[in-house]
Amino acid sequence: MIIIGICDDEEQYRAQIKLLCSAFFDTQKQEFGFVEFTSGEEVLAYQGDRIHLLFLDIEMPGMGGLEVLSRVRRNERIWRIVFVTSHKELKWETIDLKTLAFLEKPLEKAGVETCIKTVLRENRENIEISYRTLKGAGHILLDEVVFVQARGNYVSICSVKEEIPGYDSIKTIEKQTDGTDMVRTHKSYLANLQHVKKVNGEGLLMTNGAVVPVGRKYYASVKEAYYSFIRNVTIDRNKG
C-alpha cells in the first residue's frame, strides 16, 4: 500500500492533487490511499502509517513547508516530500534527501506522475536487510540503517532508533546491500549515504552525530559514491 499525503490549507489544491494521483494509480496494479492535512502542525502530529509521498505547500498560515521539512528530516513516518508553491525562487531551499521535487501551482499531470514513479522506484530499492541476534532473525529497511560496524566476527547495526547487536559478519550485510546506498568505508564499517550529513577530515559525519571512519584504501571509492549520490538527489532524481 502506497500512502500519499496532501498538505495544503486550500481545499481546491488538495482536490486537484488527489485527482491527479488517483488518475495515475488507476492505471497501475498498486494499492494506494490518501491522508489529507490543512496545516504543517497537523503533519507533525500525524501518528499513522508511513506516508510514502507528501505533497506539501510551502506557504501556509502558521507553520510553513520549510519548517515542516526541518522537523521531519528524521521522521520515518514522512518518507518523501514534493513541495508545492507559486514561488519558484524558494526551490533551492528545499533540497534534501526527503525532497523529490519542487512543483509550481497549478500542478500538471506530468510532474505529479514523475514524482509518483520516482517514489515507487525508490520504495522498491529500499530493500529489507536480514540479520541474526540472540533472540532470532530480524529484518530492517535499508533507509533505517545509519551504519554497520564489525565487532570481531559479528556486527553492530546502528539504526535511526537503536543499536542492534547482530551475529552476522560485515561481509554478509555487505552482500545484501550490494548496489545500494550502503558503501564500505573501512575494513570495519559500512555507511549508508542516505544518512551522511557531512564529509570532513575525520570521516563521514552521520545524521545521528556519529563519525564513521574512511580508510585510505576506500577513500576514492567513497568520495565518488558520495558525490554520485548527491548528484542523484539534487539533479538527476526526476529525469525521464
| pTM for the predicted model, two decimal places | 0.83
51-66: average pLDDT? 93
Whether 186 and 213 have beta carbons less than 8 Å apart is answered as yes
Sheet with 211-212: list strands edge to edge.
196-200, 203-206, 211-212
Helix, strand or coil for residue 60? coil
Residue 88 has pLDDT above 70, yes or no: no
Whether 184 and 149 have beta carbons less than 8 Å apart is answered as no
Looking at residue 94, its pLDDT comes to 55
Helix, strand or coil for residue 219? helix
Domains of the chain: 2-125 (3.40.50.2300), 128-236 (2.40.50.1020)
63-68: average pLDDT? 90
Looking at residue 231, its pLDDT comes to 83
Looking at residue 73, its pLDDT comes to 81
Looking at residue 201, its pLDDT comes to 78
Using one digit for the tens of pLDDT, what is the confidence trace for 210-235? 999 999 999 999 999 999 998 887 66
Closest by CA to 123, choosing from 198, 43, 31, is 31
71-75: average pLDDT? 85
Looking at residue 117, its pLDDT comes to 93
Using one digit for the tens of pLDDT, what is the confidence trace for 127-185? 999 999 888 899 999 999 999 999 888 999 999 999 999 899 999 999 999 999 999 99
User: Where is 89: in which H helix or E strand?
Assistant: none
17-26: average pLDDT? 96
Residue 92 has pLDDT above 70, yes or no: no
